Structure 1
Amino acid sequence: MTQTVISPAPVRAIVTGHSRGLGAALAELLLERQIDVLGVGRSAHPTLAQREHPANSANAATTAKFVEASLDLADPAAVEKWLASGALQDFAQGAQCVLLFNNAGTVDPIAPLGAQDASAIARAVTLNVAAPLMLANALATVQAGERRIVHLSSGAARNAYSGWSVYCATKAALDHHARAVALDAPDGVRIGSVAPGVVDTGMQATIRATSVDHFPLRGRFEELKQTGKLTSPEDCARQLIDYALSDAFGTSPTADVRELA
């Protein structure tokens, strides 16, 4: 893994979809590293708000701060209103480095064209694309030393899968957003759209519960689960954080954690 060059104390992080799965692992590990965390999502994390996050060294701050914002990221009007409140700017203001992990997302609808629910399509595009782009745009305006935007992408952004046309399209949108932003990003802004590999989360359970008619590759994902080949959320979160804090982050607009050395 590339060497970490930013010390934790002046770093703050925003994590969407922080209440479970990979988002929860990201929030917990960031706090362990004495990085203040703002969790954004519909649901609260079941325990983090009640925990103390003590310093892990004599030179660190006394505690890392954890705050939450209750927000339906699939509702663009609600996202716009929250951003207008200044909550993101207030949290990030003055930090040496602010990380944004655009983690929240949905794999639904899983179905071939013509069998997809229209409202599910709209929700997926808003949650997977519009919200990350809105948050990234807002972060770019924050007065901070560095702002690093981490889109959680997927192998589905780079390979087409039957039944996943909406998911593939939305994740590919994040990849291309990162490529374009890399051309015109304001000073101090880095961006990377990072595929995390196949992680053992609730999304995987959704995939395995889908009919083969709607997702012909279901058996492949069942085998990954049965043979213990899914990455744990904690291991994936550790890799993502190390990469986001490293000097290598942003040198390429797209990456895959399985290819990071």
Structure 2
Amino acid sequence: MNVFIITGASKGLGEATAQLLLKENNELILIARNENEELVRHAKEAGVSLRFLNEDLSNHNKIPGMVKSIIGSINKEKAESVFFINNAGMVDPIKPAGKSDPELMTKSIHLNLLTPMLITNEFLKLTGDWDCKKVIVNISSGAANRPIYGWNTYGTTKAGVDMFTKSVGHEQGTATNPATIISFSPGIMDTDMQGTIRQADKEDFTNVEVFKNYHEKGELRSPGFVAQKMLDLIRSDGMENGRVYDIKEFV
């Protein structure tokens, strides 16, 4: 039995990943603020075990208890592999420093950075004696590597995620039953997040026309394409622990 736990699973890359996994005999635990009824229906039709957990992952106080409940529900003896994909994220606030709403900045930091850190910490603590394949995937962004006007909060959180991934990967090198942790940068995809970006005010996000052109010229990759490349990677045996991977390496 292969278990996949995916946050932000109701849309975008999370939904696309779940759709692909429904074609196989996997156990899916999906986490999002809203349930995706289409995924639930497809799972029933395919006879695949799927559970939806309705959670606001920006509420960091709930994270340890949520992970404990999830891990406690998995049959340790039957699990051949467990994958935890930290996909949930938000690009807001799209504002230069000095103009951002403090509450929105805090929510973004909690969801994009603190939540995957807490999930990883709890997951490793609870599965330390599990000798099956264990993989944690943190979704990164090209914004982690270069400053983009108006994306100071988003880019900072993604840079933090990448450093956390590298650090934990290094630490797992001495673990008795190590997990593999990677960051995966999916590039520009045709998702709701891209819609949010295109609606930004040019004074707040000077590259807004560039992103509008990506959409108009059909240069956005489909979430399904990216999800397949990510799954091919994480189910392989050649991953480097703590590495940041980019979709450009696989296209």
Shared fold (TM-score, shorter chain, > 0.5): yes
1:212-231 → structure 2 map (5 Å cutoff): 212-231=202-221
CA apart distance, 1:22: 1.0
2:14 aligned with 1:23:
yes
Q: Distance in 1 between matches of 2:133 and 2:57?
A: 24
- Which runs of 5 or more structure 1 residues have no equivalent in the other structure? 1-9, 56-62
Aligned-residue Cα RMSD (Å) equals 1.6
Correspondence for 1:36 among 27, 39, 42: 27
Correspondence for 1:166 among 153, 164, 167: 153
CA apart distance, 1:201: 0.3
Q: Distance in 2 between matches of 1:76 and 1:66?
A: 24
2:101 aligned with 1:117:
yes
Q: Distance in 2 between matches of 1:212 and 1:52?
A: 42
Q: Distance in 2 between matches of 1:46 and 1:121?
A: 31
Conserved 8 A contact 1:31-1:53: no
CA apart distance, 1:31: 1.7
**TM-score, structure 2 length as denominator?**
0.92
> Match of 2:74, SS?
helix
**TM-score, structure 1 length as denominator?**
0.88
- Which runs of 5 or more structure 2 residues have no equivalent in the other structure? none
Match of 1:87 in 2: 70
Conserved 8 A contact 2:4-2:84: yes
Match of 1:60 in 2: none
More displaced 10-residue stretch of structure 1: 73-82 or 190-199:
73-82
Conserved 8 A contact 2:22-2:42: no
Q: Distance in 1 between matches of 2:32 and 2:165?
A: 22
Identity percentage over the alignment? 30
CA apart distance, 1:76: 1.0
2:33 aligned with 1:13:
no
2:73 aligned with 1:73:
no
Match of 1:64 in 2: 48
Structure 1, residues 55-91: CA drift from partner, whole Å, max 9, x if none? 7xxxxxxx3211111111000112233234x223323
Correspondence for 1:208 among 198, 210, 220: 198
> Greater RCO between the two (CA within 8 Å, min separation 6)?
1
Structure 1, residues 29-62: CA drift from partner, whole Å, max 9, x if none? 112122211001211112222334567xxxxxxx
